[in-house]
Structure 1
């Protein structure tokens, strides 16, 4: 197996078993940095919007089908985009259940929120919840002083530096990747903190409160609540702030990139076989024939523009190379 460096037009051998007959060609984004597409360090592991509750007159999840059930006196008001959820801060909330897709260790939660009081985040608790599980699960909410927090319910938490203490609409977001947590307020990074906890998912998840019985019900409004299964970038969150009611596109994975280019892969494979008319052809180091260099460079330019490399998956009989 060999890697073509587009800038230098040179091939670098990737250690393998010397398989020489071409049975397929796999195109990878070069930033993965290695042949394996399932390596955890690969930056194109993919990610998607898992759930999106817009609050437009019901608790429908526009993406994942994790529809909620309104509890207490939860109603609707005018939001930043259409309608929004209204909670009175005492026994209100929206029950979602415990879908597997929301049982995440790494994630992003983004929403628009508006406090109903500058002095209270709840009428029944010191805390006002935006989205959260019961004991052991993750919770995003407000501390009594208006700062945001991310917690493992009942165990530990980390908080933002900035606080929201007025009754205007604000965009808030939190991202968690590994032991890194970032809080955002109104599209701007507020703070980055270390948080190495691991969440458990023995209970259901609620919007505007937590189990049991819609505890710590938020006193205010929530709109355009979104959960992603990857960490949004600062640019992503700024985009959401500038475009209320929008979403961040899903991140393609290396594997989905391959699935989306099956016709190009087949054409490239056929081109190799036609060009050299031999199932036993192999590329050897930097001495690869100019025709191969030209062919793969053209395919590289066609499919990935300025990407750095193409990888070849060579399969067949064992032979030295």
Structure 2
């Protein structure tokens, strides 16, 4: 992981130029048809033996020995990862400024780095320098996911996101980057990968990302600034297009040619809930000293996104963090021995509390603990306060504040504190006395005792009426009279029919088919879609479910573990949206229960 040097909180001197933000994402495979471009594109570089723009004349130059290979359509640019790239001179109609725009292209690569963070390869971008400025770019990470940035200066005007779909499988993938007003959306193969707002100042306007920099394919300025952590793209690009408007998802899917699958399932059986008693969950013991949230999983230099899910070093605890739109900046130390705190927060304008809700790792449902340890770092005159809340999320059970006035660059001012009280369900950490450019850090957030799942009302099973077998009376045979023999006219005996009892059929109840986990997931997607939520909230809830459906439809048992993780991500999203009021308590409970049932069927740990 790249370490940044700091001269004061909020002022970052970059060594590596790497910024990463973790956002929830979704993935769903699509048919790979394609249409060759769109006549409404301002520019279109089809890569047919040259770098010419066949729509508007924004022709590029092949540099470093860029070659061509069979592409998605016709030929494609091939980059060797050493010095190949395409240079397109700056043009007014390639400079969006405040306006909407879309960039889409096809890519194919098998590149894999040593980690997500090392190293980044540039795909397509219009960026001048490897630090804050005015630009946009699209990059490939070391683990084959897609990273996007939109910037108009230092935070809160710098935004970035990291997808979760791995596109380094050697297959063609369509990438679309859309800026529509204050919203930026990344699509992969026609599906929403990530979407985020760039309106940190609540001005209601887009960022101005105009610059005089060339448009480049396969290269960016961070390659020269830090070649250890940034590189030339290795792989193929085809059918690169630039639009002066924000394309819709349907338009992007039309470019792909096959269109995306609908959210309406075909012949999906309706799930009939079974009144199965809910087992009382036993307390989950968290091993001492192996129970801390390790913030070095959280990416360097990233905005703290509302509802971001933080996973832990030992996967023993889940937490959902929120900056409530405060535009905070996270900076991570390399390890526990680092002189930097694991998680450093600063904002020159304002700051809202960081929120960590305790959840049961087995179910994702709300839970509580009896003690929370955290190391706080106060910088300058800021007063940093940690609060522990009860399960009503309003009653403060314990509170501790720290400050180190006049210390300036006081990252070393570490204060280990403990919040102790039965039933802690939420922890908040905030600046209660705010000083511009001062801030705080968190070195560890640890739960040394037992996680107690919140009580869940057990369903009372409805007794099933088992038919009672009523004994059938067997008639007593009637003796047949034997005729007295006479010498003449012996009568032929007429057989008396024996009454054989007719068996009464027993009504056997018809078993209701139990939906498979894949079918139950599709039903849960429908349930979310029927809640009438705003599009952004609906998309963020459906995203992990679509990934679950995709994993389960592959019929590969090895996918079950990944599906369990996505279901946990869904439950964490539900918890976050219940907390911010997007979901009612009843809606959230219904969604959690449905997801937990699928996890049970999958035997998630």
| Cα shift readout 1:91-133 (whole Å, capped 9, x = no counterpart) | 2111111111100142111110001424479xxx721222112
Which stretches of structure 1, 4 residues or longer, exceed 3 Å deviation after superposition? 118-121, 152-156, 211-216
Q: Is 1:117 aligned to residue 111 of structure 2? A: yes
Contact 2:183 2:198 survives alignment (8 Å): yes
| Cα shift readout 1:157-195 (whole Å, capped 9, x = no counterpart) | 223343323111111111111211111111222222112
Aligned residue number for residue 181 of structure 2: 178
Aligned residue number for residue 225 of structure 1: 240
- Scaled by the length of structure 2, the TM-score of the pair is 0.30
Q: Is 1:234 aligned to residue 255 of structure 2? A: no
Aligned residue number for residue 293 of structure 2: none
Aligned residue number for residue 139 of structure 1: 137
SS at 1:238's partner residue? helix
Contact 2:113 2:141 survives alignment (8 Å): no
Q: Residues 73 and 120 (structure 1 numbering): CA distance in 2 closer, same or farther, change over 3 Å?
A: farther
What is the Cα-based RMSD across aligned positions, in Å? 2.8
Q: Residues 96 and 175 (structure 1 numbering): CA distance in 2 closer, same or farther, change over 3 Å?
A: same
Contact 1:119 1:165 survives alignment (8 Å): no
Q: Residues 53 and 97 (structure 1 numbering): CA distance in 2 closer, same or farther, change over 3 Å?
A: same
1:132 & 1:182 partners in 2: Cα distance?
Answer: 15
Aligned residue number for residue 190 of structure 1: 193
SS at 1:237's partner residue? helix
SS at 1:80's partner residue? coil
Q: Residues 102 and 51 (structure 1 numbering): CA distance in 2 closer, same or farther, change over 3 Å?
A: same
Higher relative contact order (CA 8 A, sep 6+): 1
| Bigger Rg, which one | 2
Contact 1:113 1:169 survives alignment (8 Å): yes
2:114 & 2:215 partners in 1: Cα distance?
Answer: 23
2:251 & 2:114 partners in 1: Cα distance?
Answer: 30
Match of 2:212 among 178, 198, 202: 202
| Cα shift readout 1:192-225 (whole Å, capped 9, x = no counterpart) | 2112443131322211112488873211100000
1:96 & 1:212 partners in 2: Cα distance?
Answer: 18
Match of 2:61 among 59, 64, 69: 69
SS at 2:52's partner residue? coil
SS at 2:143's partner residue? coil
2:114 & 2:108 partners in 1: Cα distance?
Answer: 12
Aligned residue number for residue 92 of structure 1: 84
1:54 & 1:107 partners in 2: Cα distance?
Answer: 19
Residue segments in structure 2 that go unaligned for 5+ positions in a row? 1-38, 200-206, 225-229, 260-605
2:182 & 2:168 partners in 1: Cα distance?
Answer: 28
Q: Residues 132 and 199 (structure 1 numbering): CA distance in 2 closer, same or farther, change over 3 Å?
A: same
Residue segments in structure 1 that go unaligned for 5+ positions in a row? 1-46, 245-321
After superposing the two structures, state which structure 1 stretch, 191-200 or 234-243, moved more: 191-200
1:120 & 1:100 partners in 2: Cα distance?
Answer: 39
Q: Residues 243 and 86 (structure 1 numbering): CA distance in 2 closer, same or farther, change over 3 Å?
A: farther
Map 1:1-321 to 2 at 5 A. 48-104=40-96, 105=98, 106-119=100-113, 126-133=119-126, 134-135=128-129, 136-152=134-150, 156=158, 157-196=160-199, 197-211=207-221, 216-242=231-257
Contact 1:118 1:167 survives alignment (8 Å): no
SS at 1:49's partner residue? coil
- Scaled by the length of structure 1, the TM-score of the pair is 0.55
SS at 1:240's partner residue? helix
